Amino acid sequence: MKRRTFVRSTMAAVAASLPGRSSFDGLYRVVTQAPGDVDAVTGDGRKVTLKDAAIQELMKSLRGRLLLAKNEGYEQARQVLNPVIDKHPALIVQPTNAADVQSAVAFARASSLLVAVKCGGHSLSGQSTCDGGMLIDLSGLRGVRVDPAARKAWVAGGTLLGQVDRETQAHGLVTTMGTVSDTGVGGLTTGGGFGRVARRFGLALDNVTAVDVLTADGKVRHASKDWNEDLFWGVRGGGSNFGVVTSFEFQLHPLTGQVIGGDVVFPLAKAREVLSFYAEYSLEAPEELYLDYIMMRAPGGADGVVMLSACYSGPEGGADRALEPLRRLGTPLTNGIKALDYVALQRLHDDTDPRAMGTYLKGGFTSKITADLVKTILEGFEPHPARMTELFFQHCGGAIGRVAPEATAFAHRYAQHNMMAAVAWKAGTDSVQHVRWLKQYWAALERLTGCIYANGAPGDVGAAKVNANYRENYPRLVSIKRQYDPSNLFRLNANVKPTA
Ligand SMILES: Cc1cc2nc3c(=O)[nH]c(=O)nc-3n(C[C@H](O)[C@H](O)[C@H](O)COP(=O)(O)OP(=O)(O)OC[C@H]3O[C@@H](n4cnc5c(N)ncnc54)[C@H](O)[C@@H]3O)c2cc1C
């Protein structure tokens, strides 16, 4: 028996005889589950065979797990939020630290593998998974540490935003996160990050003061305004184009006690009145007030509803004045606006998470909701027996617009709203008719919008439009991409091609 085989079989016997073998998990998998060669695909679509020995080496180098299709946990790990996205990576790495991400990236680069990076899996277009490539699933890389004196939080790259809200609020502090608490910090922040306090404190990415990024050459790079400044600039708006962010440092702001917020719901018949009100008031409202407009029709012809979803986070006493104009709309069906903990408000819409529903979404920024836009929105908003239809505006403006467009890679500082239209249908049923309808509806709306929020863009946006969407920041992004990812290893994103 060769020495290596002997060592392995001895280790296997030891591991198998242990009552709890968790600390030997890595070894146990290495010695008992010879993976065999695995077929995979490269970033440019070529077929490659990953050799058994190389996969075993990768496994050995990890503290986290490596899952192949036959392994327990693979099915769950390959899932993303939108059930329409049903992809099968050749291998899934679940890092527990930056060194694991480094091993995964080095392995992927050596075979030019197609690479996907998943944090919360909320990309509705499926940018965080792939067929036949490597999925780096950051779900084992979660955690938040707060320094209340410095008003800083360090957030691991796979963390969900609800964790950040909870840990920072424990100290009476906050930073901007999105509005559904199981969205990933990784995708949200590298692409933008609108949320209930963004009009006061800026986007999630405006609050990032430093990052650690695992770049395509396998190096962990610290980036901040003083260190790797180009990379720091690009990561704030360029998504995963430059690598995997393993750690974010956020600045925090005081937000103690309760906020005033919730939903005021009206019948859909009042949509014109509510939308016209919103068109005006969303531009005039104080920055402490965040107000979304949401209009929806459930499947089956049930009456639809229109609602305004509010969060007032300013000084006590200011809420009445900020919310008073809503009274002009008359008596609602329900008025859920009340004093509540910020963390509870941040979870209010968690059940809108479309896990059992296929979803297709189109969106675009607006700086003004014109009469033409109101008319087009309302005329086309048709009921359907088999789909839910939704049209909503996420409130922007305020502090977001005070940052110069070229200060970060996120250029859309003019936006007052992010308008989105979405259809959702029972997963597993025919999607074609619903997607076709939304595309038609959106064709009428699109001419009245500006650029796209890359984080919500569907997968069928062409390369020219993706490039143009970076506006004046595109040339600098290309040069940073050339420097940090010349082979375009990280391409499942609003992709900046190094060859442009
Ligand atoms: C229900 C729902 C609610 C939403 N609400 C908001 C909202 O309030 N505000 C808002 O701004 N957006 C919102 N979004 C959009 C959201 O910002 C994007 O879907 C975002 O990409 C989600 O991040 P994620 O980590 O969950 O995504 P994933 O699907 O895991 O990843 C999306 C992209 O981010 C990249 N990525 C993920 N983690 C990292 C990392 N650590 N380093 C580098 N790249 C990484 C991936 O490579 C991929 O390209 C919402 C989306 C959904 C589905």
Point out the residues of the chain with pLDDT beneath 50: 1-32
Q: What is the pLDDT of residue 351?
A: 81
Whether 113 and 40 have beta carbons less than 8 Å apart is answered as yes
- Nearest of 272, 278, 223, 279 to residue 246 by alpha carbon: 223
* Residue 494 within any structural domain of the chain: no
Between the CA of 192 and the centroid of ligand 1 the distance, in Å, is 9
Q: What is the pLDDT of residue 500?
A: 64
Q: How far does CA 283 lie from the centroid of its chain?
A: 26
Q: What is the pLDDT of residue 35?
A: 72
* Residue 129 within any structural domain of the chain: yes
Whether 253 and 169 have beta carbons less than 8 Å apart is answered as no
Q: Indicate whether 297 and 432 sit together in one domain.
A: yes
Atom of ligand 1 nearest to the CA of 192: 11
> Which residue's entry shows tokens 């679940």?
94
Closest residue to atom 21 of ligand 1, CA basis: 187
Q: Tell me which of 140, 164, 185 is where a domain ends.
A: 140
* Residue 292 within any structural domain of the chain: yes
Q: Indicate whether 351 and 397 sit together in one domain.
A: yes
Q: Indicate whether 92 and 130 sit together in one domain.
A: yes
Give the span between the Cα atoms of 359 and 446, in whole angstroms: 19
Q: Indicate whether 447 and 428 sit together in one domain.
A: yes
Between the CA of 255 and the centroid of ligand 1 the distance, in Å, is 24
**CATH code, domain with 245:** 3.30.465.10
* Residue 499 within any structural domain of the chain: no
Q: Indicate whether 299 and 357 sit together in one domain.
A: yes
Q: Indicate whether 83 and 165 sit together in one domain.
A: no
Model confidence pLDDT, tens digit, residues 83-102: 999 999 999 999 999 999 99
Q: What is the pLDDT of residue 458?
A: 85
* Residue 461 within any structural domain of the chain: no
Range of the domain at 251: 144-255+469-484
- Calculate the alpha carbon distances from 132 to 47, 48, 411, 422 in Å: 9, 10, 34, 29
Cβ neighbours of residue 61 closer than 8 Å, sequence gap 6 or more:
100, 103
* Residue 500 within any structural domain of the chain: no
Run of H or E including 50: strand 47-50
Model confidence pLDDT, tens digit, residues 34-59: 579 999 999 999 999 999 999 999 99
Atom of ligand 1 nearest to the CA of 359: 53
* Residue 68 within any structural domain of the chain: yes
Give the span between the Cα atoms of 227 and 169, in whole angstroms: 29
Q: Indicate whether 206 and 336 sit together in one domain.
A: no
Whether 289 and 397 have beta carbons less than 8 Å apart is answered as no
Question: pTM for this one?
Answer: 0.93
Q: Tell me which of 88, 108, 140 is where a domain ends.
A: 140
Between the CA of 322 and the centroid of ligand 1 the distance, in Å, is 30
Q: Indicate whether 225 and 339 sit together in one domain.
A: no
**CATH code, domain with 35:** 3.30.43.10
Q: Is 452 helix (H, G, I), strand (E, B) or coil?
A: coil
β-bridge mates for residue 212, sequence order: 222, 247
Give the span between the Cα atoms of 223 and 319, in whole angstroms: 39
- Nearest of 360, 348, 429 to residue 390 by alpha carbon: 360
Q: Indicate whether 407 and 265 sit together in one domain.
A: yes
- Nearest of 255, 258, 273, 242 to residue 374 by alpha carbon: 273
Q: What is the pLDDT of residue 460?
A: 87
Cβ neighbours of residue 42 closer than 8 Å, sequence gap 6 or more:
48, 111, 112, 113, 114, 133
Residue 281 CB coordination number (10 Å): 18
Whether 204 and 175 have beta carbons less than 8 Å apart is answered as yes
- In the chain, the number of structural domains is 3
Between the CA of 189 and the centroid of ligand 1 the distance, in Å, is 8
Closest residue to atom 28 of ligand 1, CA basis: 121
Tokens of 487: 């082979």
* Residue 462 within any structural domain of the chain: no
Tokens of 364: 């675009």
Closest residue to atom 39 of ligand 1, CA basis: 186
**CATH code, domain with 366:** 3.40.462.20
Identify the residues whose C-beta falls under 6 Å from ligand 1: 80-81, 117-124, 127-128, 138, 157, 178-180, 183-184, 186-188, 190-195, 239-240, 244-245, 353, 455-456, 492-493
For a substitution probing ligand 1, which of 93, 96, 119, 347 has the most ligand atoms within 8 Å of its CB? 119
Closest residue to atom 38 of ligand 1, CA basis: 186
Between the CA of 82 and the centroid of ligand 1 the distance, in Å, is 12
Q: Indicate whether 126 and 203 sit together in one domain.
A: no
Q: Indicate whether 226 and 331 sit together in one domain.
A: no
Whether 264 and 335 have beta carbons less than 8 Å apart is answered as yes
Q: Indicate whether 250 and 291 sit together in one domain.
A: no
Between the CA of 319 and the centroid of ligand 1 the distance, in Å, is 31
Between the CA of 454 and the centroid of ligand 1 the distance, in Å, is 10
Burial of 75 (0-12, 13-18, 19+ CB in 10 A): exposed
For a substitution probing ligand 1, which of 84, 85, 122 has the most ligand atoms within 8 Å of its CB? 122
Q: Alpha-carbon torsion 164, 170, 173, 179, what sign?
A: positive
- Nearest of 192, 237, 191, 234 to residue 216 by alpha carbon: 234
Longest CA–CA span in the chain (Å) reads 85
